[in-house]
Amino acid sequence: MMEKNKQILVLGLDGAGKTSVLHSLALNRVQHSEAPTQGFNAVCINTEGSQMEFLEIGGSEPFRSYWDMYLSKGLLLIFVVDSADHGRLPEAKKHLHQLIETNPIIPLVVFANKQDLGAAYHITDIHEALALSEVGNDRKMFLFGTQVTENGSEIPSAMQDAKDLIAHLAADMQ
């Protein structure tokens, strides 16, 4: 019998772009989300030879209490932030650190999203704002600058790179 795949968790504050990124990764085409996620959003992505199961949990207040519960069962954590929402970066940082505290080994992939916006912080500033140097020495951690631009266009190469990396990490963790 095949073992059930563990899920790749996609978390981050409401409006960060989790659904948009996830659907774009699935289609290899840019696809903006139409509405906030009310609860859970499960997406399956096939890559050469493997199938990955992603689980987004909505980022607005009522759904955040579920984040912790799923983290212990997750294979990887993808944390998405809105790089242009400077005011909420401290809140994003707080939640990220609370989350990873409960799981010292889960690999972390951070998407510094909305890099297309003029106000977006560069990834080096996001690294600093989220205190990513403090995520733990034994943890694999990666940071990508991402952007979800015009619907239907090809996904940027950084997103393709992130997808390839996630597939490798997931295969290593199974």
Ligand X SMILES: Nc1nc2c(ncn2[C@@H]2O[C@H](COP(=O)(O)OP(=O)(O)OP(=O)(O)O)[C@@H](O)[C@H]2O)c(=O)[nH]1
Ligand-binding annotation for 14, yes or no, is: yes
- What x-and-dash track marks residues 35-54 binding Mg ion by CB under 5 A? --x-----------------
Query: Residue 15 region, left (φ>0) first, then alpha (ψ -120 to 50), else beta?
Result: left
- Residue among 102, 7, 86, 95 nearest 54 (CA): 7
CB of 1 to ligand X, least distance (A): 34
| Cα distance between residue 31 and residue 153, in whole Å | 8
Q: Residues 51, 60, 153, 160: which binds ligand X (CB under 6 A)? A: 60
Would you give the DSSP letter of residue 154?
B
Ligand-binding annotation for 147, yes or no, is: no
The contact set with ligand X (CB under 6 A) reads 12, 14-20, 32-33, 36-37, 58-60, 80, 113-114, 116-117, 147-148
The contact set with Mg ion (CB under 5 A) reads 18-19, 37
